[in-house]
Amino acid sequence: MSLTYIVTGASRGLGLEFVTQIAAKGHTVFALARNPSASEGLQKLVDNKKVFAVQLDTTDEKSIKNAVEEVSKNAPQGVDVLINNAGISGDRGGNIRKTDDEDYINVFTTNVVAVASVTNAFLPLLRQRGQDHTKKILNMSSILASISQINTINPTGKASAYSVSKAALNMLTKLTSNQLASENFIVYASHPGWVKTDMGGDDAPVEKKDSIAGMLKVIENLTPEQNGSFIDYQGNQLPW
């Protein structure tokens, strides 16, 4: 069955790989990016039949409104899956004692506030698929958001604004999942692994293609019991 996906932050990294693999499966995908024409990788995939590029800065209200209009025009039947992938790391050197206010605000704006705004704006298009159809929302989190695991993974709180923001995103995910459960939505937080991208760096052990193949398998096989949970790219349930 051919589905319709939306992916934010689709210019490079995990977002672009999502678009690549979703398109290869024959689904329709709206690739939302701050500057689509500047992404060569994305331009190669766009055919305006199954792969559409749409301008979206997730932190800009007007840009969100325009993107919703653009997607609505080309997906009058609605959308099945929203992947809130866009994110920033902020100051990686910053720890809990030396992260400045601006870093917290920037990271929180992109990783939390923008996800709430984008989700709210696209909800009508997801709802359009109807009560009988399962709609899915993936919020891209990180194991660095796990309060129960942080003492072993990152005890000194390096890049603390990032961890704090993704922990907040996890709560946003949980509350969204509670609110939408009765409307046949499955909303969850995903950890993609530590992946070789601009953000993950060259030392990361996981390749983009493996991370995305894993996350797409998870999305395809989600069950209602997994609404409001935290799942990694290999399908493992993670502790909050």
Ligand X SMILES: NC(=O)c1ccc[n+]([C@@H]2O[C@H](COP(=O)([O-])OP(=O)(O)OC[C@H]3O[C@@H](n4cnc5c(N)ncnc54)[C@H](OP(=O)(O)O)[C@@H]3O)[C@@H](O)[C@H]2O)c1
Q: Which residues bind ligand X (CB under 6 A)?
A: 8-9, 11-15, 34-35, 56-59, 85-88, 110, 114, 140, 142, 192, 194-195, 197-200, 204
Strand partners, 51: 29
Query: What positions carry a catalytic annotation?
Result: 162, 166
Tell me how far, at minimum, the Cβ of 81 lies from ligand X, in Å.
Answer: 16
Q: Which is nearer to ligand X, 129 or 136 (CB)?
A: 136
Tell me how far, at minimum, the Cβ of 85 lies from ligand X, in Å.
Answer: 5
Tokens at 74, concatenated: 């080309």
What residue has token string 């398998």? 217
Q: Which is nearer to ligand X, 14 or 125 (CB)?
A: 14
Q: Is 82 helix (H, G, I), strand (E, B) or coil?
A: strand
Tokens at 5, concatenated: 């996906």
Tell me how far, at minimum, the Cβ of 31 lies from ligand X, in Å.
Answer: 10
Q: Are 227 and 185 in contact (CB under 8 A)?
A: yes
- Alpha-helical regions (H) of 82-159: 101-108, 114-127, 150-153
Q: Is 52 helix (H, G, I), strand (E, B) or coil?
A: strand
Q: Which is nearer to ligand X, 32 or 129 (CB)?
A: 32
